[in-house]
């Protein structure tokens, strides 16, 4: 179960045309974490990238004492012959969020992307309630990947229930490892099984890291040993994420920026979608304009 959350994982592959933008966004994420981390022990952020990006990231990302950033290559965790490298990039990022924390023995950890910003104060126990995580949930009926993951795992699908939502979220390394072990079929590892599944479902999202994580924990009967049930989570005074303060498009940005000044975001993290192409300085001003809560 959970005792604290002081680690995070960020899969990051720099895109050829927007390398500088990816670097700047990641730097802003680190800056925002440092601004809001309220614990005596540094927060640990692990970035996992293709080997070609590692040295550039190590040279370019900010060094802030409150945030302990380490950058490691994908090859540190996935050998050259691994089916990992046959997966499309989006699926690779999903597998990093499961396999690397399990392999390193993480307890509770945050999952992050480069377009996430921290906008509220937190420490190692903020998201832990009675040894369980206050994670982020969503109704399963909203996405087809829930039914597909249920079929893959072998657990009944119930559209009335909820599962762990997309990044940012809080997972546990023990349950992440449980996914990989449950999907293994003799000598065939989980990555090979999942790769075949994604190829057979081209045109759809065959699975996500969160749908697999939730479905396997449901099958094993230990989901709520580690995570607070969705009903109290939705209404808890501590919210990991604020949907209302996220920026999904440039047309919404001006309105949201006017509303944010000096107010609380309603959650500790938000997303400012990189595809909205909002200049970084404006994104920074927006993310730093919220009152700490």
What structural domains and CATH numbers belong to the chain? 5-286 (3.90.550)
Whole-number pLDDT of residue 16: 72
CA count, 13 A, side-chain hemisphere, 32: 29
Nearest to 211 by CA among 93, 128, 84, 94: 94
pLDDT tens profile 4-28: 999 999 999 997 756 678 899 999 9
Contact 121, 38 (CB under 8 A): yes
pLDDT tens profile 75-101: 999 999 898 998 888 899 999 999 999
pLDDT band at residue 252, thresholds of 50, 70 and 90?
A: confident
Whole-number pLDDT of residue 124: 98
pLDDT at 281 over 80: yes
Q: Which has the higher per-residue pLDDT, 257 or 53?
A: 53
**Whole-prediction pTM value?**
0.95
pLDDT tens profile 176-193: 999 999 999 888 888 888
pLDDT at 128 over 70: yes
Distance CA 129, CA 152 (A): 31
Whole-number pLDDT of residue 18: 60
Distances from the Cα of 8 to the Cα of 187, 194, 246, angstroms:
30, 24, 20
């Amino acid at each position: 179960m959970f005792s604290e959350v002081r680690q995070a994982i960020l899969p990051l592959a720099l895109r050829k045309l927007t390398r500088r933008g990816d670097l700047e966004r990641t730097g802003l994420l680190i800056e925002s974490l440092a601004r809001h981390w309220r614990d005596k022990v540094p927060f640990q952020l692990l970035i996992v990238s293709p080997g070609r990006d590692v040295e550039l990231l190590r040279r370019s990302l900010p060094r802030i004492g409150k945030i302990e950033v380490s950058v490691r290559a994908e090859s540190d965790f996935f050998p050259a012959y691994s089916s990992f490298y046959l997966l499309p990039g989006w699926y690779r990022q999903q597998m990093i969020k499961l396999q690397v924390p399990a392999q390193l023995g993480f307890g509770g950890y945050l999952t992050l992307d480069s377009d996430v910003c921290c906008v509220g104060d937190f420490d190692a126990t903020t998201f832990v309630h009675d040894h369980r995580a206050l994670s982020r949930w969503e109704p399963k009926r909203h996405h087809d990947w829930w039914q597909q993951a249920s079929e893959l795992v072998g657990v009944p699908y119930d559209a009335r229930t909820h599962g762990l939502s997309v990044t940012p979220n809080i997972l546990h390394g023990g349950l992440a490892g449980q996914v990989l072990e449950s999907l293994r079929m003799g000598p065939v590892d989980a990555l090979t099984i999942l790769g075949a599944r994604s190829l057979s479902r081209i045109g759809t999202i065959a699975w996500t890291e969160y749908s697999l994580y939730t479905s396997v924990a449901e099958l094993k009967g230990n989901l709520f040993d580690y995570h607070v049930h969705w009903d109290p989570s939705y209404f808890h005074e501590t919210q990991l994420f604020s949907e209302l303060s996220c920026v999904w498009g440039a047309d919404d940005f001006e309105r949201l920026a006017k509303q944010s000044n000096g107010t609380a975001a309603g959650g500790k993290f938000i997303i400012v979608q990189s595809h909205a192409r909002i200049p970084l300085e404006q994104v920074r001003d927006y993310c730093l304009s919220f009152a700490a809560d």
